[in-house]
Amino acid sequence: MIKICKADPSHVHGIAKVCSDGYRATYGETHSKEYIERIISEFYNTDRIVDEVTKTSRYWGGYFVALDNNEVVGAGGGGMINDTAGEVFVLYLDPNRRNEGIGTMLLEAITKQQKEEYNASEQWVSVQKGNEKGIPFYEARGFIFQHEQNGYGNADGEDYISLRYCRQL
């Protein structure tokens, strides 16, 4: 049975693994290997995740994890971007565990935190253009496309595009 809980330092390795494996599985066909490995080493290294499970605030509410028999099979988190808007900053699963409802359970935990603790009335997410594993999920959960912007991780010469989606809570 899947259990969703707030992550603690014992989950750091599991979070790094699902986010790295999930990122490679999601973007392997649309993004260069160099881009993918650069983003993974910046965001999903264990030093950074230790910080992110121990230091939280309304701007970063910490990671939530989905546990199956105490093994991390999914991880996600978000925070507030202004007084009333929350954002999902990260949401990944073990690539073999998609379409079982686990992503929805993690999104619900992040949303509950943003509504009840931080008074969010809307919620944003950025999805990379071409991410056909993420976009249908967010659309199924009521997010509506707003606009495009340059991808946050672009280096010189890269022109990946992010799509901004929003839903009312």
Ligand X SMILES: CC(C)(COP(=O)(O)OP(=O)(O)OC[C@H]1O[C@@H](n2cnc3c(N)ncnc32)[C@H](O)[C@@H]1OP(=O)(O)O)[C@@H](O)C(=O)NCCC(=O)NCCS
Residues that bind ligand X (CB under 6 A): 22, 26, 91-93, 98-104, 125, 127, 131, 133-134, 136-137, 140
Could you tell me which residues are beta bridge partners of residue 57? 60
Q: Which is nearer to ligand X, 102 or 109 (CB)?
A: 102
Report the C-alpha gap between 89 and 99 in whole angstroms: 20
Q: How far is the CB of 14 from ligand X (least distance, A)?
A: 14
DSSP state of 117: I
Q: Which is nearer to ligand X, 80 or 93 (CB)?
A: 93
Q: How far is the CB of 95 from ligand X (least distance, A)?
A: 7
Q: Which is nearer to ligand X, 53 or 106 (CB)?
A: 106
Please calculate the CA angle 145-49-109 and round it to the nearest 5 degrees. Answer: 50
Q: How far is the CB of 59 from ligand X (least distance, A)?
A: 18
Q: Exposed e or buried b for every residue in 83-109, given b needs 16+ CB within 10 A?
A: eebbbbbbbbbbeebbeeebbebbbeb
Q: Which residue is nearest to ligand X (CB)?
A: 103
Q: Which is nearer to ligand X, 9 or 136 (CB)?
A: 136
Q: How far is the CB of 153 from ligand X (least distance, A)?
A: 13
Report the C-alpha gap between 63 and 52 in whole angstroms: 7
